[in-house]
A and B are shown apart, each in its own frame.
Chain A
Amino acid sequence: MIDDPSAGSPVATLPSPLARRQPIGEWDEDALVLGIETSCDETSAAVVRGGREILSNVVGSQTSLHGEYGGIVPEVAARAHVEALTPALAEALLQADATFWDLDAVAATRGPGLIGSLLVGIAEAKSIAAVLEVPFVAVNHLEAHLYSNLLADPKARFPALALIISGGHTLLVDAHDHGGYDVLGGTIDDAAGEAFDKVARFLGLDYPGGPEIDRLSLLGNPEAVRFPRAML
C-alpha cells in the first residue's frame, strides 16, 4: 500500500439513480436542461425548464481571488472552477428540486473565454451527459448572452435586434431567427467592459473596475462633459 498521509474524508452520498424521464431526442416544453458556465471568473450552474423557466441559477464569483492581482489570472480562474463547480452543480439541482437523472440535456459554454476555464466546464458537462445518456450541447458565449433576453423577458421573441455589451465584446446583431444571426457592427478596438476595466486600473480603483465606476458615476455631475449625440 502507498502510505499516503493526506487521507480524505468519506464522500457525501447522493440519492441512488432513478430511471431516465424520457428517451433521447424527444423535446418538450418541460425538458430540463442543466447549463454550466465557466468561461471567465464566475462558476455558474443553472437548471432551466422548457428553455424559458429558470428553476435555479447558482453563481460563484472569484472576484476576491483576482482582486490582489488587479485583473483575472487565467491559471487562478481555472483552478477555482475545479473547486467551485462540484458544489455549484449540487446546489443548482437541489434548488431546482431535481436529480441528475431528471435532466434531458447538459449544456456548457464553448467559448469565447479563457481556454483553461472553459475546459473544466466542458469536461464536466460532457461527463455528466455521457453518464445520463442525454445530449451535450456546446453553446457559444455570445449566443448565450443574446438568448438570456428570452429568460429575462417572457415576451421576447425572434426576429430581434440585439446589442451585446460584455467584458470582451460589443456587438450589434440582427437575430432574425433561432440560431440565425448577422453581425451588423461592433467596436473597432476595445469592448465596452474592457474600456471600463482599463480606465479603472489607470485611475487606481479597486478590481473589478466596472461596478466601482458605476458607483462613483452616481456622485458625478452629468452636465460636466458635453458628448455628441449620434443621429441614426
Chain B
Amino acid sequence: MLVLGIETSTPQASVAIGSEQGVVASAMVSRGASYNEFLLPAIRFCLDEAGLGYRNLGGVAVGLGPGLYSGMRVGVATAKALAQALSVPIVGLASLDLVAYEVRYSAKTICAVLDARRNKVFHAFYRSSPGGIQRMTRHAIESPERLSVGIASRPEEVLMVGNGALLYRHIFEEAGSVIEVGSMSHAFPDARALVELAIPRMFREDFDSLFDLQPLYLRRSAKPIEWERIRGSRA
C-alpha cells in the first residue's frame, strides 16, 4: 500500500511517499517558498520521480503538530482534501511523536521539544519500546524554564531532541540536569518517519475520521478582542 505523508507543522516542510517496503520518494525544504507553494509541486515531484499518479495512493498521512498554526492548517487541509477526493483513509500523527521516533534506539528517556515561539516550547516525554517508542506524557506547551525544572527533577539522563532543544539548550543545561541534546538532523519532524509510522496503522485500519481530524493546537485561539475596553474608552 502506497501512503503519501505530509508534514508542514514546523519551519521544515516535507512530503514522502512510501509503502511497507520503504520510502520511494521524498522532498524537503526548510526555507524559502511558503508551504502553500511548496506542497503540491513537491507531491507532484515525488509522484513523477517514483513513476506514480495520485490514483496509486492507498492512504494519506499528515503531521498534526503541535507547531506553527498556518503550517499545520495548510498541511491538514491539503491532506484532508486529497483523502476526500481520492476516497482513501487518512491517518494523523503528532509531530512531537515523529521527532522522538527518530531517536528511538536510545536507552535514555527521550524528551521531544519543538519551538512554539513567544518563549514557549511544545514537548512530551517518551521511552523506547520494542519496534518504536512509547509516549509517557501528554503533549504540552510550557516555557523552557519550566520544562528545565521538570527535567532537573528527573533522576535519569534525558535525551532532548527537536529544534526547541537546540534553541533553549543553555537553559536546560543551566538547570544542572544531565542531558544530551540531539543533533540538527533530528531537529524537525520528517514526512519519511510519518509514512513509516502511518503504514502499520493503515494495515490495522486504525484510521482517523476525515470529518473530525484537526491540527493539535494545544493553545486556545487568539485572545478575544476587548470590546468592553474600547467601548469604555470612548465614553
Contact = CB atoms under 8 A, between A and B. Distances in A.
A130 B36 CA distance: 13
B105 to A, nearest CB: 15
A30 B25 CA distance: 39
Interface in B201-232: 205-215, 217, 221-222, 224-225, 227, 231
Given A2-B197, A3-B134, A82-B77, A8 B55 contact: no
B212 A15 contact: no
A40 interface: no
Interface stretch (B82-90, B154-162, B179-187): B82-90
Interface string A90-122: 100000000010000000000000001001101
A23 interface: no
Contacts of B134: 2-3
A35 B59 CA distance: 25
Contact of A124 (B80, B91, B92, B197): B80
Contacts of B205: 10
Contacts of B210: 11-12, 86
A100 B88 CA distance: 13
A8 B77 contact: no
A89 interface: yes
Interface residues of A, number: 50
A69 interface: yes
B230 to A, nearest CB: 8
Contacts of B89: 10-11
A68 B82 contact: no
Contact of B214 (A3, A83, A124): A83
Interface stretch (A73-81, A140-148, A180-188): A73-81
B208 A17 contact: no
A191 B210 CA distance: 38
B133 A82 contact: no
5 contacts: A8-B91, A70-B227, A119-B70, A128-B82, A128-B84
Given A1-B197, A89-B81, 7 more contacts: A8-B92, A11-B83, A17-B55, A75-B222, A116-B69, A123-B36, A130-B43
Interface of B: 36, 39-40, 43-44, 54-55, 69-70, 73-74, 76-78, 80-87, 89-94, 97, 101, 129, 131-135, 197, 200, 205-215, 217, 221-222, 224-225, 227, 231, 234
Interface of A: 1-4, 7-17, 68-71, 73-76, 78-79, 81-83, 85-87, 89-90, 100, 116, 119-120, 122-128, 130-132, 201-202, 204
